[in-house]
Amino acid sequence: MRPDPSELLELAGRVAREAGEMLRAGIGHLRIDVTTKTSGTDMVSEMDRASEALIVEGILAARPDDAILGEETGSRDGTSGVRWVIDPLDGTTNYLYRHPIWAVSVGVEVDGRAEVGVVVAAGLGEVFTATRGGGAWLDGAPISVSGATDLAGALVGTGFGYAASRRGRQAVVLPHLLPAVRDIRRNGVASLDLCWVACGRLDGYFEAGGQPWDVAAGLLIATEAGASAAGLDGGPVVPESVMVAAPGVAPALFALLVGAGADEPLKPPH
Ligand code: LIP
């Protein structure tokens, strides 16, 4: 039997808010258990792990047959056809530097398709949600993308990877982009960048090299709010290749990014 999206939304919201509250209460405490993962700048702390443990425990208590993909604990199989895609602390670097911009991101897929997205920005006191076909919401109020139509006036978000070599290749786009838009923003939190496109705080966002947990919830929230989405090669959007924008600027922005080789960092180095 297909699960009821409103029940999945309720559960996703509950576990994400609990984890967000735990993280908010813990920010600023001296972090003793900070290690690194894929590179010297890719930090993970006991708070990332504690947040994921809390979320996974809450999900499995209610839905023991579901599958889970979590940034810190990896993949767990299920039999229900439902999969939870979790970033327990998106913006770890911001969090450890005590910036207020970080989030808990929970996406829910049914039979491989995104059906529910929840992004809790507990440091900012905001909750973004969406269900497929049900629109996108901020703290219970409907949201939609900006009405921007002029690329020269567009505010565009982006992000960079943890590997120095990749950052160098990602920077190649900037000389093409910066003269062509209002400005760029590097917030450090993909899930929130996507939500800020959804509510018009950004007119577009792109990033090469993201992970499924960075974008699972935010992509649904952005597209349910009216955003156009594509891969950096102009093909379908996938976690590691994302560009989204308000429809009025999407064609121009997407053409610029494809023309500037924004997908280059995803290709094997020459
Ligand atoms: C972060 C992403 C961000 C990206 C960072 C990092 P994390 O996720 O949200 O978009 O630019 O390099 O990957 O590691 O804080 O969960």
More confident: 38 or 215 = 215
Tell me if 161 CB under 6 Å of ligand 1: yes
Closest among 108, 104, 124, 118 to 51, alpha carbons compared? 104
pLDDT at 30: 63
Q: What is the pTM of this model?
A: 0.97
Tens-place pLDDT, residues 81-92? 999 999 999 999
Over residues 199-222, the mean pLDDT reads: 98
More confident: 2 or 147 = 147
pLDDT at 136: 98
Tens-place pLDDT, residues 11-67? 999 999 999 999 999 987 766 688 999 899 999 999 999 999 999 999 999 999 999
List, in sequence order, every residue forming a beta bridge with 241; answer none if it has no partner: 208, 238
Tens-place pLDDT, residues 249-268? 999 999 999 999 999 999 98
Closest C-alpha to ligand 1, atom 15:
91
Residue 49 phi/psi, 5-degree rounding, is -70, -40
Distance of CA 147 to the CA centre of its chain: 22
Q: d(Cα 238, Cα 230) in Å, to the nearest integer?
A: 8
Q: d(Cα 101, Cα 187) in Å, to the nearest integer?
A: 7
Tell me if 91 CB under 6 Å of ligand 1: yes
Tens-place pLDDT, residues 165-197? 999 999 999 999 999 999 999 999 999 999 999
Tell me if 214 CB under 6 Å of ligand 1: yes
Tens-place pLDDT, residues 113-145? 999 999 999 999 999 999 999 999 999 999 999
Tell me if 160 CB under 6 Å of ligand 1: yes
Q: Which of 120, 162, 189 is the best mutation target for the ligand 1 pocket, counting ligand atoms within 8 Å of the beta carbon and taking the most?
A: 189
Ligand 1 centroid to Cα of residue 189, in Å, is 5
Record the tokens describing residue 203, joined without a space. Answer: 């007119």
Residues 6+ apart with CB under 8 A from 83: 66, 67, 68, 69, 108, 109, 112
**Confidence class of residue 270 from pLDDT cuts 50, 70 and 90?**
confident
Closest among 203, 262, 212 to 235, alpha carbons compared? 262
